[in-house]
Amino acid sequence: MQTETFTIPGMTTELVAQRVAAALSEVEGVSAIKLSLAGQRTAITFDETQTSGEVLGATLLAAGFDVAPGGACCGGCCGS
């Protein structure tokens, strides 16, 4: 298992966070999604034999979200 963290500018409401989670949950191999509205970040745990960070980023872009890799997650609010 691997974890990738993305910053998603504009993810400031529960509705947007639900849309982010829904898009990511469609990707085969994703096992956990942790969201931080305060930090506008998501930490995604996935099976690297089934998907990749690049695919996850592309999925978010295709769903209409601005995405920046990383996000300097400390492990607190987004839990990675």
Question: What separation in angstroms does the CA of 24 have from each of 41, 54, 67, 74?
Answer: 13, 12, 13, 21
Would you state the pLDDT for residue 71?
Answer: 52
Is the pLDDT reported for residue 9 higher than 80? yes
What distance in Å separates the CA atoms of residue 49 and residue 24, rounded to the nearest whole number?
16
pTM: predicted TM-score of the whole model, two decimal places: 0.81
**pLDDT recorded at residue 18:** 96
The CA distance from 58 to 3, in Å, is 16
DSSP label of 6: E
Domains and CATH numbers, the chain: 2-69 (3.30.70.100)
Dihedral sign of CA atoms 74, 9, 69, 32 in order: positive
The pLDDT of residue 70 is 66
Q: What is the pLDDT of residues 31-71, one digit of tens each?
A: 999 999 999 999 999 999 999 999 999 999 999 999 987 65
Which DSSP state fits 39? T
